[in-house]
Structure 1
Amino acid sequence: MGFLVGSVGQQVIVEARRPVVFVRAEDAPSGEVAGREIVVGQQGDPEDSAAALEFAFAAAAARGATLRAVRAWALPPMFAYSPDTLRLMDEAGGLEPYEQKSLSDALAPLRERYPQVRVVEHVEMGSAGQVLLSVSGTAQLLIVGRRARRSAVGARIGSVAHGVLHHADCPVAVVPHD
């Protein structure tokens, strides 16, 4: 069971300068979400997901919830990484430790500002959308960032935001970061 987000809903997400939260009518009332995690996706460099992480930490603090920060990764195409990135990965001990360090680095400043929020770091190989959906089944809220892509045929949201909006079993917050 997922959202059916039509062109109007997607256009709202593309144009919004603030987070947009999609909630289905059949989502659990607020009393039934106690103890359930808030899940947030982290990607790229710390500044790439700073807005989504800030929103997630604030939401977790307000609800007294655990925050699960998720970073999905895939094996790089043969020449996709620069020599500098390959050197950093080698120094980190390989791809997965490199991705774990990237997630930890992105979370560090927010952990200092929100010491009351319990954080679970989750690094997994796979597509970002699939990994987020796999851990959000019992979440009270799933948070993803959004960078609108504009073209001659109109603006559109990215594949991760699109996928979780259509398939998540919980409310989804889409946070702009462009």
Structure 2
Amino acid sequence: MQRNEFDIDVAEAYAASYLRALSKIAQNRLQKELVEWQLNPPASFNHKVTDNLQRWVIEVAGAPGTLYANETYQLQVDFPEHYPMEAPQVVFVPPAPLHPHIYSNGHICLDILYDSWSPAMTVSSVCISILSMLSSAPSKQRPADNDRYVKNCKNGRSPKDTRWWFHDDKV
């Protein structure tokens, strides 16, 4: 999938106001997670190595036998100053997959990214949860309120500024 400059600029705008210098605890934790990822990467994921510890770009390959088989997407993971006490911001770099819980701007409606975050979670566990969510989709479609939501997210609004309503545990 090709991404144009506008798509990349939009994804970067979401994180612009979110990023601050990482605390020493966050740096240590991320370095530990990065080493673990390199030794034991989760299946279907590829971390695109850069020199920026605070922003990871991760390729996601759709699981075989699912609606997303043979498709590849990119996640952008931005870590807050106080990670892991605060959840990372995770969005799909447009174009985002068609899914009932993924908006066309890349925002993901998944409780572990917000209300149900735990410092025990890792980037790997978040990625596996996202792949599980993709794999369990019964059909490829956008959320019913996609157009309204995306319109309200103009100017780089973060998904963390959204009051999500988690009501669908089937997908």
Q: Which has the higher strand share?
A: 1
> Quick check: which one's helix share is greater?
1
Greater RCO structure (CA 8 Å; 6+ sep): 1
TM-score tier after normalising by the smaller chain length? under 0.3
**Higher Cα Rg: structure 1 or 2?**
1
TM-score by length of 2: 0.27
Please give the TM-score of this superposition, normalised by the length of structure 1.
0.26
